[in-house]
Amino acid sequence: MIHEVIIITISQDNLVHVAPMGIKMDDKHLYISPFKPSKTLDNLLSMNKATINFTDDTRVFAGIVTGEKKDWPLIENNSFGIPILKNTNTHYDVTVIDINDDKTRPKIKCDIIEKKIHKPFLGFNRAQFSVIEAAVLASRLGMISTEKIIMEINYLKIGIDKTSGPNELEAWKWINKKINSFISKENKKNG
């Protein structure tokens, strides 16, 4: 099972980096698979730690992959030394214990040091699922055919129309702006 989370890392010069990623986990360990090259991978290799943020605010995923909003409020004074997302439901502090290197996508095994619940889980929401799926599409423009993207966005919109709140609507707007601008550039290129 893959959990879509927000991973926060820091660089050697103490610069904070926030990125959406899919992770796998069991009770004690967690596995992160960043593509090469990536800032998250660099930071994990140099600093050996991260916070894993489980949030139902899907704007964080959409804001980062579309570039519409990359700066999210953080709680800096986490005693572990890595900030957490202010609007996270739960977070884990993790340390890197093993690296399974790979040409394109290494697998980083981490120990879970601490688990903290900050806000209750309020049940599943179809619009949040739609935003996460669409954010993945928006992060793979140029790799997936335009026809497939349009078809999938049209299907995912059903969940948005029927079940969204203001956060999901805002995230959906950012994603559509990015996808539409990509498609109109492609159309111009192809005459």
Ligand X SMILES: Cc1cc2nc3c(=O)[nH]c(=O)nc-3n(C[C@H](O)[C@H](O)[C@H](O)COP(=O)(O)O)c2cc1C
* Interacting residues with ligand X (CB under 6 A): 4, 19-22, 33-35, 38-40, 61, 65, 132, 135-136, 139
For ligand X, give the closer residue by CB, 99 or 132.
132
The least CB distance from residue 42 to ligand X, in Å, is: 8
User: For ligand X, which is the closer residue by CB, 21 or 25?
Assistant: 21
Angstrom distance (rounded) from CA 160 to CA 148: 19
d(CA 134, CA 150): 10
| Nearest residue (CB) to ligand X, 20 versus 83 | 20
Shortest CB 24 distance to ligand X, Å: 10
By beta-carbon proximity to ligand X, the closer residue of 40 and 55 is 40
C-beta of residue 89 within 8 angstroms of C-beta of residue 54: yes
Smallest distance, Å, CB 31 to ligand X? Answer: 10
Q: With respect to ligand X, which residue has the nearer C-beta, 135 or 156?
A: 135
Shortest Å distance, C-beta 188 to ligand X: 25
Q: Which is nearer to ligand X, 11 or 184 (CB)?
A: 11
Q: Smallest distance, Å, CB 133 to ligand X?
A: 8
CB of 40 to ligand X, least distance (A): 3
> For residue 128, which phi and psi values (nearest 5 degrees)?
-65, -40
